[in-house]
Structures are given as C-alpha cells and as structure tokens.
C-alpha cells in the first residue's frame, strides 16, 4: 500500500508569528546525538507536550479544526522531540489514520471518532501542534459523557501501512506500542514509510556502498538484519509450503470461502506464521479481502477469540459467552455480493483449548456456512492437534486442508542466514556452517540460529574483529544454551524439577501447551512419593508452582467460568528437557523425551 504523504504546517492564528518556535521552551536537560539535542518534554505557554502525547496537527494547506476533525487536521502521537543544528525545534510523529486513509480492502465498517494506530512516521516542526487530544479504547470512550465523546477519539486497532493488516490492540501499554512499531517497521524493506529522515541514523543503505563502509558499520548492519523483527521481502526454503498456502487462499478468496479450513502445523521457528503473512501481503496487491490475525497466546481466555472476531466484523462489544451465538447468526445470514471475504488467521491454536473444544470447533466449522464469507487458517506446533481434541466425526465433517512445516535442515538454515546478511560479508563460511549444524541437530528452529548468529556479531563488534569467526559462533552458541532461564532450570529444587517434569509429561500426553493445575498435581504426587518418599500436600504444590512463576519459567492462568486454574510453560518443553538433561531425577522421568 502506498502511504499518503503527510506534512504538517505551522498554525495560522493570531499568536503564530515568525518567532513561533521561540514560544516553545524545552523542559529539562537534553542529550546530544548526531548534532541534534533530544528532549523528553516541551512547553508552549501553559501547555506541556511530552513524548507519548497525542496531538492535533495543522494539515498542509488547511486550517485546523479545533473540534478535532481528523479530515481537516491530523492526529499523531509524539515519538521524539529535538532541536537540530540550525535551532529548529522538531518532533517525530506517528500518525493515526481514519478509514479514508486506508485502502478499500482493509477498511472496516465506519465508526465516528474512530482512529487506527499506525507505523507511519514523519518529522514536523513543533509549530504545527494545535492542541492535545485524548484517545481511549472504545470501551472507555463509551463511558465518557456524551458531550466529551465529541471531542475525543477511540482506538482499538493497529493498522500496518507496510502489510495492509489490521491487528487488534490486545495491549496498549507504551512497551507494547514500541514492540508493534518495531515489528511492522521492517515488513517491507523496499519502502521506507518515513516522509522525511529520522533524527537518528537511517536503517537503509544501498548494497553497492557496503564495500566502502567500516567493519564497525557492517557489523551493526549485520546485527540489524539478524534481528527476529527484521522481515525479509521473501522467505527462502519454504517455496513448496508457500505455494500450497497461496493456492488455497487465492481460490478461497475468489470463491469468497470454500468451506474447508486450512490447518498448518510444525515445530516452533519453522516459518509458519511468517509464510502466511508473506502470502497475504502478496494477495492484497490484487484481491479484495479483509484480514484479521488472532494469537491464542495473547488472549485472556480462549472464548475471547469470539469477542475479538465479532468486534472486528461489527464493531460491537459482546461478552464472550454471548459472542458465539451472535457470530452463529452473522455467518448464517446472506451477505452483500460486494462484501469482501474475511481471512482469519488463528495463530497459537493450542491456546484455544477448552474442555468442550467449542472454540476451535466453531472457528473451523463457520466457514462451512454458505453465507459466511469466512476463510480460516489455524496454526499450531502440534501436528495432530485436531485428532487429539476433536472427535473423528467432527474432523470428517470439517474436511480441513493441511500443510506441514518440517524443521529447517542444516543447508536451509545456512541459506536463510546468508539471505539475511545479503552482501554483508562479515561471517566466515565455517562460522555459518557451525551455527547451522548446531541448531539443525537440536530443533531446526531458525529463531535460535538467528539469535546465535546475532550474538556472534555482537561478540565480534565488542572485540573489534573484522569477521565473525567459527570460535565466536561457538562462544555465542554456548552462551545461548546457558542463558538466564536455562541457568534457572539447571538450579531447580527437587520439587521444582518434579513439577516441570509433570507438566512436560502431561503436555506431551494430551498435546496442548497448558494444563489444569489438578491434572499436574495428580501426575506429580506419585513422582514425589517415588523420589522424596512422602505425600505431596496441595498447598505445597501451590507454593512450588508460585516459585516457578515468580522467575518466569511458568505462568499461572486464573480460573474462569470455563475452566479451573491452569499452568503454562513460558519456555519450550524441549528447552526444559535440554536444561535438565544432566539432572538424575529428570532423566529418570523424562528419559523417553530427552
């Protein structure tokens, strides 16, 4: 999608003169970087504007609307404040969009006063600021008095200008905002969405200039390209899987749904989600459809997937217990011929597990409704998850399509690392080969390979080396294996080891990533009797679980109306097995899994 150019201009009012910039006074001391001095806050009269504030800006060639109409002025969040070498007071703005700023295929139903958080950035003079603006969640906005709602906005979705995706804002804390910007700012490496240069060093440099750069600069660029958040233009070594997904989506969108969901499975770090996103980006260039991604791991409960889906389709807030009924009616009701279909990506499907499995079943069943215009893709780490949680009759009725992502081989991992590095010759061939061999022998998880390679670059930079050698990669791999949580696992007490072993065994038995507290307790009790020669009291079990949760090894999910308290492993089960491979008690219980 081509991002609309936005350049705000100084306000035109009686108090704006040539010396307008002088009316803005910095608050606090700044820090210097690249001939610019950066600040946290600025004052204008009685008004204060700080990083993170949302403001109304005067649009180019237009007078501002003090009522906050973003059609005649613009709304943006301040991401940076600085004074350049010429004394100009500047700010970096991250724009909010209205639906008219988005492509037709991405537009949701219109709602007055709704804005969409984006990854569109540009630099503007401070004199363009009109006033501060309040942006709430829709739920909080509805709680405001009617007269105040007319001067405020609400925002529940993030719109990526790079991918044309709309994502629900599960969490809108400042940390999560930065995470979203960082993730989606690299979704299209061919096109920068900044209208003007950022105050810091630009990420993009042409390949032809690489040979003229110093080793330190090359190392910094290589580190950037190896970050997990860096998304290349294409994903290598997944051509077969990509074609299967492309063909499925292309024909499904053309037919506005085909009734059969697509189930994608494979080990973590094998490119499942990234490949789907790449295919969606490609199809959005030629086909009209809506896209929604729901991550089961980020939901407060499995059934809240219904509320998110309904809200995306209708912008109505309905409690989870009732949302499924409303969706039943919605998907069975005839749609307008021109209404584009919806592609729903349900990632981390394992986390949508419930006692009666209604969440997963309904998501896979709704596409069978002839009027649904719904296309569902489910992604899981478990190959046979449908067989484990759904009845044979249900599986037969759903007749789902399947794509399996196998772990990356040694050669494939080397290919991906080389593609990431592009023309940056900072690794010796032997170093890349060692990294590929170490990861492919354990899991084939490309994320681990990238983290090891990135750490190798960091070590080379620290030691001012021109090349990442095989010795540096070996050191990085050792560090990775001895990371913080791995060290914690290796120093667990007897009871902590037994609880983790019980979780891994039960997860392996039922094929999900989270388990009921009562089930883990029932499995752990005989292990305690065998190794500690005593009974395990439930309060003791609770204390052990709390100790593991306090250091981030597991998480405790509070009970809901659907299920009792549950436990989740924050790290992968194979990491638990690897970390405890030298623990005699763990070896005795997890021998077959190690």
Residue 367 sits in a domain whose CATH number is 3.40.50.300
Confidence label for 259 from pLDDT (cuts 50, 70 and 90): confident
Torsion of Cα atoms, 523 then 526 then 530 then 536, to 10°: 100
Write the CATH number for 544: 1.10.10.10
Domain shared by 473 and 346, yes or no: no
Residue 10 lies in a domain: no
pLDDT value for 59: 67
**Model pLDDT for residues 77-108, shown as the tens digit of each residue:** 998 899 988 888 999 999 999 888 887 666 77
Residue 124 lies in a domain: yes
Instruction: Return the top range by mean pLDDT from 184-198, 333-347, 388-402, 539-553.
Output: 333-347
Residue 1 lies in a domain: no
Higher pLDDT, 274 or 384: 274
69 φ, ψ (degrees, to nearest 5): -80, 110
Confidence label for 63 from pLDDT (cuts 50, 70 and 90): very low
Task: Single out the residue of 502, 407, 490, 394 nearest to residue 449, CA to CA.
Answer: 407
pLDDT value for 278: 92
In Å, how far are 192, 371, 532, 535, 557 from 488, measured between CA atoms?
41, 52, 21, 26, 21
Domain shared by 150 and 37, yes or no: yes
Write the CATH number for 427: 1.10.8.60
Domain shared by 329 and 297, yes or no: yes
Structure token pair of residue 476: 């990085």
Domain shared by 465 and 551, yes or no: no
Structure token pair of residue 58: 């005067």
Least reliable range by pLDDT among 100-109, 360-369, 449-458:
100-109
Least reliable range by pLDDT among 22-36, 158-172, 311-325:
158-172
Residue 11 lies in a domain: no
Confidence label for 8 from pLDDT (cuts 50, 70 and 90): low
Residue 133 has pLDDT above 80, yes or no: yes
In Å, how far are 67, 98, 543 from 110, measured between CA atoms?
19, 9, 50
Mean predicted confidence (pLDDT) in 5-17: 52
Instruction: Return the top range by mean pLDDT from 118-122, 246-250, 316-320.
Output: 246-250
CA 45 to chain centre: 40
Domain shared by 256 and 363, yes or no: yes
pLDDT value for 119: 86
Residue 22 has pLDDT above 90, yes or no: no
Domain shared by 459 and 547, yes or no: no
CA 139 to chain centre: 23
Structure token pair of residue 150: 């007319």
Confidence label for 517 from pLDDT (cuts 50, 70 and 90): very high
Domain shared by 259 and 224, yes or no: no
Total count of domains within the chain:
4
Task: Single out the residue of 258, 266, 261, 358 nearest to residue 305, CA to CA.
Answer: 358
Domain shared by 511 and 366, yes or no: no
In angstroms, the CA 160 to CA 539 distance is 47
Residue 178 has pLDDT above 70, yes or no: no
Higher pLDDT, 489 or 63: 489
pLDDT value for 204: 39
Confidence label for 207 from pLDDT (cuts 50, 70 and 90): very low
Domain shared by 359 and 271, yes or no: yes
Residue 18 has pLDDT above 70, yes or no: no
Domain shared by 43 and 166, yes or no: yes
Chosen domain end from 373, 405, 437: 405
Mean predicted confidence (pLDDT) in 139-160: 88
Task: Single out the residue of 407, 441, 427 nearest to residue 476, CA to CA.
Answer: 427
Domain shared by 351 and 387, yes or no: yes
Residue 473 lies in a domain: yes
Q: Domain span at residue 532?
A: 487-593
Chosen domain end from 380, 405, 430: 405
Confidence label for 187 from pLDDT (cuts 50, 70 and 90): very low
Residue 260 lies in a domain: yes
pLDDT value for 525: 93
Least reliable range by pLDDT among 80-84, 229-233, 500-504:
229-233
Residue 133 lies in a domain: yes
Instruction: Return the top range by mean pLDDT from 216-225, 240-249, 293-302.
Output: 240-249
Chosen domain end from 373, 388, 405: 405
Residue 537 has pLDDT above 70, yes or no: yes
Domain shared by 222 and 325, yes or no: no
Mean predicted confidence (pLDDT) in 437-454: 90
Buried b (16+ CB within 10 A) or exposed e, 67-84: ebebeebbbbbbbbbbbe
Mean predicted confidence (pLDDT) in 114-142: 90
Write the CATH number for 105: 2.30.30.490
Higher pLDDT, 415 or 495: 415
Which is it for strands 374-380 and 157-159: parallel, antiparallel or unpaired? unpaired
pLDDT value for 467: 95
Confidence label for 6 from pLDDT (cuts 50, 70 and 90): low
pTM beyond 0.95, yes or no: no
pLDDT value for 556: 87
Residue 88 lies in a domain: yes
Cα angle: 153, vertex 154, 155; to 5 degrees? 130
Torsion of Cα atoms, 492 then 495 then 499 then 504, to 10°: 50
pLDDT value for 88: 87
Mean predicted confidence (pLDDT) in 44-50: 89
Residue 561 has pLDDT above 70, yes or no: no
């Amino acid at each position: 999608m081509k991002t609309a150019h936005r350049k705000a201009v100084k306000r035109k009012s009686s108090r704006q003169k040539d010396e307008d910039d002088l009316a803005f006074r910095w608050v606090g001391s700044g820090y210097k970087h690249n001939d610019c001095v950066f600040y946290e806050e600025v004052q204008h009269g009685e008004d204060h504007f700080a990083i993170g504030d949302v403001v109304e800006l005067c649009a180019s060639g237009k007078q501002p609307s003090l009522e906050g109409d973003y059609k005649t002025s613009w709304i943006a969040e301040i991401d940076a404040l600085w004074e350049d070498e010429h004394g100009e007071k500047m700010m970096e703005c991250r724009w909010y969009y209205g639906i008219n700023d988005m492509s037709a295929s991405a537009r949701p139903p219109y709602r007055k006063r709704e804005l969409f958080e984006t990854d569109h950035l540009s630099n503007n003079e401070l004199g363009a600021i009109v006033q501060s603006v309040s942006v709430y969640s829709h739920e909080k906005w509805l709680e405001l008095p009617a007269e105040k709602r007319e001067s405020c906005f609400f925002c529940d979705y993030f719109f990526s200008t790079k991918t044309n995706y709309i994502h629900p804002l599960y969490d809108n804390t400042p940390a999560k905002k930065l995470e979203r910007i960082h993730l989606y700012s690299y979704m299209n490496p061919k096109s920068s969405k900044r209208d003007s240069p950022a105050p810091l060093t630009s990420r993009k440099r042409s390949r032809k200039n690489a040979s003229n750069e110093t080793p330190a600069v090359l190392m910094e660029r290589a580190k950037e390209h190896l970050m997990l958040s860096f998304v290349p233009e294409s994903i290598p070594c997944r051509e077969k899987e990509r074609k299967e997904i492309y063909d499925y989506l292309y024909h499904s969108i053309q037919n506005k749904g085909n009734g059969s969901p697509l189930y994608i499975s494979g080990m973590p770090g094998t490119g499942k989600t990234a490949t789907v996103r790449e295919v969606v980006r490609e199809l959005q260039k030629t086909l009209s459809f809506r896209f929604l991604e729901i991550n089961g791991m980020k939901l407060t409960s499995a059934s809240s997937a219904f509320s998110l889906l309904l809200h995306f389709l209708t912008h109505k807030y309905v409690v989870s217990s009732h949302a499924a009924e409303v969706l039943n009616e919605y998907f069975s009701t005839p749609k307008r011929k021109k209404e584009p279909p919806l592609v729903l990506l349900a990632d981390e499907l394992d986390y949508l597990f419930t006692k009666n499995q209604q969440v997963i079943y309904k998501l896979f069943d709704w596409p069978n409704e002839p009027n649904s215009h719904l296309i569902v893709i489910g992604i899981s780490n478990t190959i046979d998850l449908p067989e484990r949680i759904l009845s044979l009759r249900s599986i037969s009725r759903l007749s789902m399509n399947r794509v399996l992502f196998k772990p990356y081989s040694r050669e494939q991992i080397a290919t991906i690392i080389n593609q990431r590095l592009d023309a940056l010759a900072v690794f010796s061939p032997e170093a890349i080969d060692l990294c590929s061999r170490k990861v492919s022998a354990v899991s084939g998880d490309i994320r681990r390979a990238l983290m090891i390679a990135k750490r190798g670059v960091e070590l080379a930079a620290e030691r001012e080396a021109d090349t990442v050698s095989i010795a540096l990669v070996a050191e990085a791999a050792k560090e990775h294996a001895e990371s913080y949580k791995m060290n914690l696992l290796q120093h667990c007490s007897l009871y902590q080891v037994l609880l983790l072993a019980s979780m891994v065994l039960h997860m392996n038995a039922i094929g999900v990533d989270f388990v009921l507290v009562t089930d883990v307790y029932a499995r752990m009790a005989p292990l305690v009797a065998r190794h500690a020669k005593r009974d395990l009291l439930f309060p003791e079990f609770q204390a052990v679980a709390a100790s593991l949760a306090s250091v981030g090894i597991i998480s405790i999910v509070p009970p809901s109306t659907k299920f009792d308290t549950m436990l989740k492993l924050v790290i992968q089960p194979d990491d638990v097995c690897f970390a405890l491979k030298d623990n005699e008690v763990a070896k005795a219980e997890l021998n077959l899994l190690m």
